[in-house]
């Protein structure tokens, strides 16, 4: 039934069916009884799928599809051998991806094949094998490793240029250094520049401040993966709201446009059309596939910031979305990203039920009782356009006087914990996201409320 809903062809419907259980690691050709292993699946693959037509006797040729880095051996190349045989400790020629005329003579020092989860050192590998190798400096994705007697670069897809930038800076909040292992600007800078060795689409630049760095990536998800990886490694830092990289072409400001593909149930297309309209998207194509609709839009990159969570909510988890860079087009105009103000903590301390109960009347909260807060930390949002200072640390004043209902239990509205992507979508221009291995905290750039008000007044006067 699922295959029919995906509008499968008759040939696809006649294909062999294997019933598998990923949790138990078993497979069977009948749904009634599972075998003890996955051998039925592997046997079916070998019987049904024809092998690739590979020329093992031709001169060796390997396309680098991915790169890694190791402090001991340097940059590591990962790719599939297109033809022939590649051997360790033999001279090869490297064809540069960016300029096919640039050819470098070098040597593969170590050659590995992957067996299960381990890398096994091998003397040689043949066409069709996926291998990792080291010993070649300056290696990049898209490069071709060839035998010196037959140098022919393999065509490779164009690597996308960065379209989004963020500022990574040292955490300077009152809670700085309490939860992270790596907190200094030197450690942050070394980690970001180390990432350049394995991520060819990333760009890192120093700024006027020694404590902040400008990081450019292919999109919000690209940078959020980097943030989450560094967070799990023990780094503590803060990031700004994502911004797109504009270009000036013939005197006209252009912005990056992405191709947005959505596969949604037929009765859930309305919210997607509405969201794309608000984000200045343009419908390119719409096709019916079974009882689902495939929608294709072109939409500004800035319009997709944080949209994935909204998309999953609108489609009740049944939608599938993908994006890819399309082109640069003239600026589409202003886009209202956020209409709500922030609930900002008035003092440093620990949030208590009484203070949160009073604050929830002003808006929606992000935190629960017992959460440590500091002055200038965002603890929720309000439907008003302006920020509101709230005292979530305020305790009930104790007196000898009691009135009817004064000691009733206070009920707090349940809060939903925001993900990293939702936090990046939420933060405004005057806010930062504090990232630690244990916490994600949204804060104001200027923590003091009086200084923040003066800065806001000065900004309005300048306009």
- Domain locations in the chain? 18-50, 61-146, 247-330, 341-397+410-462
Task: Report whether 146 contacts 59 (CB < 8 A).
Answer: yes
* Options 1.20.200.10, 3.40.630.40, 2.40.50.250, 1.10.10.10; CATH of 341-397+410-462: 2.40.50.250
Antiparallel, parallel or unpaired: β 388-390 and 341-345: parallel
Length of the chain: 463
Please give the structure tokens belonging to residue 187. Answer: 């450690």
CB atoms within 10 A of CB 371: 19
CATH of domain 61-146: 2.40.30.10
Antiparallel, parallel or unpaired: β 203-206 and 130-134: unpaired
Q: What's the burial of 419, exposed, middle or buried (CB within 10 Å: 0-12/13-18/19+)?
A: middle
CA-closest candidate to residue 92, choices 80, 103, 82: 103
Q: Is the fold of 61-146 the same as that of 247-330?
A: no
The pLDDT profile of the chain, 463 residues, written as one tens digit per residue, is 667 766 777 887 888 889 988 888 899 988 888 888 899 999 999 998 888 888 888 999 999 988 888 888 888 999 999 999 999 998 999 988 877 677 888 899 999 998 888 889 999 999 989 999 998 888 888 889 999 988 888 888 777 789 899 999 999 999 999 999 999 999 999 999 989 888 888 999 999 999 999 999 988 888 999 999 999 999 999 999 999 999 989 889 999 999 999 999 988 899 999 999 988 999 999 988 878 889 999 999 888 887 887 888 889 888 999 988 889 999 988 887 777 889 999 899 999 998 999 898 888 899 999 999 999 999 999 988 888 999 999 887 766 555 545 545 788 888 878 888 888 888 888 899 999 999 999 999 999 988 988 888 888 888 6
CATH of domain 247-330: 3.30.70.240
């Amino acid at each position: 039934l699922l295959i029919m809903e995906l509008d499968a062809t008759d040939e696809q419907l006649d294909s062999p069916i294997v019933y598998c259980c990923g949790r138990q690691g078993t497979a069977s050709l009948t749904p009634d009884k599972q075998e003890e292993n996955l051998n039925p699946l592997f046997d079916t693959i070998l019987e049904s799928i024809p092998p690739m037509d590979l020329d093992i006797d031709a001169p060796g040729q390997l396309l680098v599809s991915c790169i890694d880095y190791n402090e001991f051996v340097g940059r590591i190349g990962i790719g599939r051998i297109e033809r022939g045989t590649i051997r360790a400790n033999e001279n090869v020629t490297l064809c540069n991806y960016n300029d096919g005329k640039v050819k470098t003579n070098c040597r593969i020092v170590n050659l590995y094949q992957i067996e299960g989860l381990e890398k096994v050192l091998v003397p040689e590998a043949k066409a069709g094998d996926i291998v990792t190798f080291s010993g070649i400096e300056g290696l990049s994705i898209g490069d071709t490793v060839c035998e010196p007697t037959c140098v022919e670069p393999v065509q490779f897809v164009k690597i996308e240029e960065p379209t989004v930038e963020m500022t990574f800076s040292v955490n300077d909040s009152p809670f700085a250094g309490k939860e992270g292992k790596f907190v200094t600007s030197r450690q942050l800078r070394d980690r970001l520049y180390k990432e350049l060795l394995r991520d060819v689409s990333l760009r890192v630049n120093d700024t006027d401040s020694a404590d902040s760095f400008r990081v450019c990536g292919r999109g919000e998800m690209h940078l959020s993966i980097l943030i989450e990886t560094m967070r799990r490694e023990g780094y503590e830092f803060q990031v700004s709201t994502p911004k797109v990289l504009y270009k000036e072409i013939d005197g006209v400001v252009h912005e990056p446009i992405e191709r947005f593909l959505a596969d949604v149930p037929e009765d859930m297309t309305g919210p997607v059309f509405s969201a794309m309209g608000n984000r200045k998207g343009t419908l390119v194509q719409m096709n019916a596939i079974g009882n689902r609709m495939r929608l294709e839009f072109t939409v500004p990159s800035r319009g997709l910031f944080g949209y994935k969570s909204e998309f999953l909510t609108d489609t009740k988890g049944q939608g599938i979305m993908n994006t890819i860079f399309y082109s640069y087009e003239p600026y589409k105009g202003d886009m209202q990203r956020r209409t709500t103000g922030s609930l900002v903590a008035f003092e440093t301390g620990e949030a208590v039920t009484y203070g949160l109960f009073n604050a929830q009347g002003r808006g929606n909260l992000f935190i629960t009782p017992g959460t440590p807060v500091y002055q200038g930390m965002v603890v929720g949002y309000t439907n008003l356009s302006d920020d509101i200072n709230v005292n979530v640390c305020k305790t009930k004043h104790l007196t000898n006087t009691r009135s009817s209902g004064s000691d009733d239990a206070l009920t707090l509205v349940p809060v939903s914990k925001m993900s990293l992507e939702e936090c990046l979508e939420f933060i405004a221009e005057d806010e930062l996201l504090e990232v630690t291995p244990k916490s994600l905290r949204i804060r104001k750039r200027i923590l003091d409320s009086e200084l923040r008000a003066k800065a806001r007044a000065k900004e309005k006067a300048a306009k």
